[in-house]
Copies of this chain bind each other. A is one copy, B any other.
Amino acid sequence: MRSRLAYEPRDGALFHTALTHRSATGPNNERLEFLGDAVLNLVVAHHLFAAFPEATEGDLSRLRARVVSAEPLAEAAASLGVGEALQLGSGELKSGGFRRQSILADALEALCGALYLDGGLAAAEAFITRLLGPRIAALPAPEALKDPKTRLQEYLQSRGLALPVYSVDEVQGEPHAQVFEVSCRVGALGQIAQGRGSSRRRAEQEAAERILAAIDSSSGVPRE
């Protein structure tokens, strides 16, 4: 584990604490996780700010959520061997807690906190860049993270066209398992499309996605 950290700690105890879950005895990693979460958020925010000069504040928030959510963090932690190095109480050990996503992600945040305290922002930044840089580089265009209804609305607004009109055509099934059928009409473009889904919103998103696909095949609006 230490070799994969690619960092020689001055204060080894700090890193031991970062890898100690609250189920174990002794100082645990919860306070370091609080600090490391802030370190991670800043480093990733700075990367995204530089990498996406045209992205809005909302785009940047959505992009960051993709990078610092539990799933990618747990994956990164697993790739470092954090699961094997973790100190867990006997209960968590037996229940396989070292494989739990949240426990791995929290430990990774705590490691960021320890690196920041031990080697400053530069040390934490080098670690985070090495670990999450490839994921940042593989992010989709900010536009693609917006839902279809939002993209369709923005496409029409930017051209001064009237907004789409959604209507529910049919609701089928029992109250606890309904299926909605919805139409989306864009009069200005002479387009109409249907969508189905387990909620009105989902059906509308599908219908909007179809309108975008139809526009795209002729003019090239950004798609996921």
Partner of A33, one of B33, B46, B57: B57
In chain A, positions 1-45 with a C-beta closer than 8 Å to chain B are: 30-31, 33-35, 37-39, 41-42, 45
Q: Which of A30, A33, A37, A38 has the largest number of chain B CB atoms within 10 A?
A: A38
**A55 at the binding interface (Cβ < 8 Å):** yes
The answer to the question of A121 belonging to the interface, with a C-beta cut-off of 8 Å to chain B, is yes
Query: Considering the chains assembled together, what is the distance between the CA atoms of A34 and B52 in angstroms?
Result: 13
* In the complex, chain B residues whose CB is within 8 Å of the CB of A34: 45, 49, 57, 60-61
Q: When chains A and B are docked, how far (Å) is the Cα of A1 from the Cα of B61?
A: 30
- Any B CB within 8 A of the CB of A56: yes
> Interface residues of A toward B: which range?
20 to 34
- Nearest residue (CB) in B for A28 is B57
Contact B38 A55 (CB under 8 A): no
A42 to B41, CA, bound (A): 8
User: Residue on B with the closest CB to A30?
Assistant: B57
Given A31-B60, A56-B31, the answer on whether A42 and B38 have CB atoms closer than 8 Å is yes
CB atoms of B31 and A49 under 8 A apart? yes
Per-residue CB proximity of A207-220 to B under 8 Å, as 1/0? 00000000000000
Which residues on B sit within 8 Å (CB–CB) of A60?
Answer: 31, 34
Give the Cβ gap from A47 to chain B, nearest Cβ, in Å.
10
Contact call B49/A35, Cβ cutoff below 8 A: yes
Rounded to whole angstroms, the CA-CA distance of A46 and B112 in the bound complex is 13
A73 to B111, CA, bound (A): 30
Given contacts A31-B49, A34-B45, could you give 17 more A-B pairs where the C-beta distance is less than 8 Å?
A30-B56, A30-B57, A31-B55, A34-B49, A34-B57, A34-B60, A35-B46, A35-B49, A37-B45, A38-B38, A38-B42, A38-B45, A41-B41, A41-B42, A42-B42, A46-B116, A121-B121
The 9 residue pairs across chains A and B that have the minimum distance between CB atoms:
A38-B45, A38-B42, A30-B57, A34-B57, A42-B42, A38-B41, A34-B60, A35-B49, A121-B121
